[in-house]
Structure 1
Amino acid sequence: MIAPLNPLRGIGCKILSVMVFVLMAICIKASAPRVPPGQAVFFRSFFAIPVILVWLGLSGRLPGGLATRNPLGHVWRGLVGTCAMALGFTALGLLPLPEATALGYAAPLLTVIFAAMFLGEEVRVFRLAAVGVGLAGVMIVLAPRITVGPGAGGQLETIGAFAALMAAVCAAMAQVFVRKLVHSEQTAAIVFYFSVTGAALALVFTLPFGWVMPAPREAALLVGAGLLGGVGQILLTESYRHAEASVIAPFEYVSMLFALLLGYFVFEEVPTLPMLAGATLIVLAGLFIIWRERRLGIERARARKVMTPQG
């Protein structure tokens, strides 16, 4: 039985998930000076697993919720998603929190392009124009970080900026894999196997290359990041259960506000004018794409209703 939609509850779950993911990013960023990104990926993935299992158990979806018809699809999604996570965590360690957050918004813009390239989805001129505007915003944010100066700090920030951009590329590719998976897989299975794959890949590929024994504070931050990641994923999944995607999607950009506030109060990061200007363009482009998708969805629904024979 499908539960009736409750848009306010869906929006509430979405905003809570955004807050939780920003708190998770703070935990990762706070541990970044000593903990390698790959190790952070392991903790983020591994400690999300028990949270997800408890959620599935309480909702009566064990073990059926973990059934899969496409195990290889989960591997590919996990591989690309884990790369996105590792690159994103690298960026968090090298860039201010609001800047890393803003560059992450390039992912849904790139998803539009990749969906057209790999899934054959039709992309009209309005969405292409919005993607162009959003990518212009990305370049505005990136421009101050693309430096060839001798300062080590500048070089590290340049690396962080490119890591954030590549993280967005990988995240967009991961979304393409997810769009394929949802045709045959349950959401719970997609979430669970991503965490399992991410933990396994991070352990295999990073354990031999520079793991550190975290101090108690760092260990608490890393475990907290994993638990928060699991909770955030559950809240995100629940938000889509209670409201249509087009209703809750715009609230993703609330994370920019949280990133600005927490970046300032926790890390004393003052946002720059180029970052604010570029982030504004990226957010506006994302919102336009969401609005356009909703309009097209309404038009397609009307067309199907007209074409359906009336009995």
Structure 2
Amino acid sequence: MAGARSQALGGALLAVAYTGLIASADGITKLLAGQYAAAQLYALSGALVAGFCLLADRLPSQRRGFRTSCPRAMALRSVATLIAAVCFFHAFRLLPFAEVFVFIGLMPLLAGAMSGLLLGEPVRPASWAALGAGFAGVLFLFPDGVAAVSPGHLVALGAAVSGTFSMTMARLIGRYESNALAQVFYPNLTLCAAMLLVLPFVWMPMPLADLAWAAAYALLLFGARWLLVVALRLLASYAVTPLMNLQFIWMAFIGAAFFGELPSGTTYIGGAIVIASGLYLVWDQFAPAMPRLRSAGRLQTDP
């Protein structure tokens, strides 16, 4: 019993550390987004993360290579990751930090819907209610109505949808293989390759300080993904997901401390609603007293 509690505590601490690392990486994205094109940051960081994966694969406990039994699903995940990265880059450029989180907070809710639509997993009516509440939380960002919707908000929504699709493909791939390193390697390799095609047209000389920031971004991103994989081994995914909502606190702090962005009251209300609806979605799906239905249905892309 003590060992199980210690393992659960370790997983929870790693999940909290993940939120700090990923929010810090997003902060660097916002810092560089005002000075460079997305291609410049992601060509460099994608290459570095892919390189970190190659180095990690040399560890005795990780020597599994990068073969995948789901090449089509991996390709879909890689393309979706590419789209999400570019959209988030521009969202951080156009919107306050905390506002972007409200869309990030929608991703677990969107994942519930996509799992039903794409993986054949049933979604309970109460879960659809939680999804509706999450959408209502986003509406708090627009107290003046549709007229307040900006291109940045639309880009952030596109980032959330494409990022969620990438997560859904990761879940599909996880049904057939456990090589998590491959799921980090191929999306970042795709990101690097695609951005290299655009890089000659947008390249700007980078001082050493900005190169160091880009390298720090890649290291934080790789570390965050790695910690999340380990956390999910120690703690059930339904327990990790609510902890990831701590990103809102990190992002609000980073936005205020480093970018002078003070979220409005409606942003806090919207974030709270999204977080609460996500917590309810987790409770509804995994509460022991709730009857649960599971299906082996899947999107037909690979075995």
TM-score, structure 1 as length reference:
0.86
The answer to whether 1:271 aligns with 2:272 is: no
Q: CA deviation at 1:12?
A: 0.9
Structure 1 letter corresponding to 2:14: C
Of the candidates 195, 198, 220, which is equivalent to residue 202 of structure 1? Answer: 195
Identical positions, percent: 24
CA distance in 2, matches of 1:265, 1:181: 39
CA distance in structure 1 between the aligned counterparts of 2:114 and 2:289, rounded to whole angstroms: 20
Aligned equivalents of 1:228 and 1:145: distance in 2? 37
Matches within 5 A, 1:100-119: 100-119=100-119
Q: How far, CA to CA, are the matches of 1:146 and 1:222 in structure 2?
A: 36
Counterpart in the other structure of 2:287: 295
Runs (5+) with no aligned partner, structure 1? 149-156, 302-311
Change (3 A) 1:65 1:132: same
* C-alpha distance 21-300 of structure 1, shift in aligned 2 (>3 A): same
Structure 2 portions without partners, runs of 5+: 294-303
Kept after mapping to 2: 8 A contact 1:40/1:89? no
- Cα distance in 2, alignment partners of residues 146 and 223 from structure 1: 39
Shift of 1:170: 0.6
- Deviation (angstroms), 1:255: 0.8
Aligned partners of 2:170 and 2:289: how far apart in 1?
Answer: 20
- CA pair 132-54 structure 1, distance change in 2 beyond 3 A: same
Return closer, same or farther for 1:130/1:31 CA change in 2, 3 Å cut-off: same
Change (3 A) 1:55 1:293: farther
Query: What per-residue deviation string (whole Å, max 9, x for no partner) do you get for residues 64-102 of structure 1?
Result: 242211223211110011101110111111111111122
| Aligned pairs for 1:91-106 within 5 A | 91-106=91-106
The structure whose residues are more often helix, as a share, is 1
User: Distance in 2 between the 1:244 and 1:94 partners?
Assistant: 35
How far 1:172 moved relative to its partner?
1.4
Letter in 2 for 1:54: L
The 5-angstrom pairing of residues 169-208 of structure 1 reads 169-185=161-177, 186-204=179-197, 206-208=198-200
Native 8 Å contact 1:99 1:141 kept in 2: yes
User: Residue 246 of structure 1 contacts residue 290 of structure 1 at CA under 8 Å; is this kept in 2?
Assistant: yes
Query: Quick one: structure 1 residues 259 and 118, their matched pair in 2 at CA, closer, same or farther if it must change by over 3 Å?
Result: same
Post-superposition CA distance 1:216-241 (Å, at most 9, x none): 22222112111110011111111011
- The residue number in structure 2 matching 1:122 is 122
Q: CA deviation at 1:52?
A: 2.8
Structure 1 101/145 Cα, relative in aligned 2: closer, same or farther at 3 Å? farther
Query: Which residue in 1 is equivalent to 2:46?
Result: 45
1:141 and 1:278 in contact (8 A); partners too: yes
- 1:57: Cα distance to partner? 2.6
Compare 124-133 and 97-106 and name the one that shifted more. 97-106
Indicate the residue corresponding to 1:217 in structure 2. 209
User: CA distance change for structure 1 residues 297 and 23 in 2, over 3 Å: closer, same or farther?
Assistant: farther
* Contact 1:127–1:292 (CA under 8 A) maintained in structure 2: yes
Answer whether contact 1:48 1:230 (CA < 8 A) is retained.
yes
Q: Is the 8 A contact 2:39 2:202 kept in 1?
A: no
Per the alignment, residue 85 of structure 2 pairs with 85
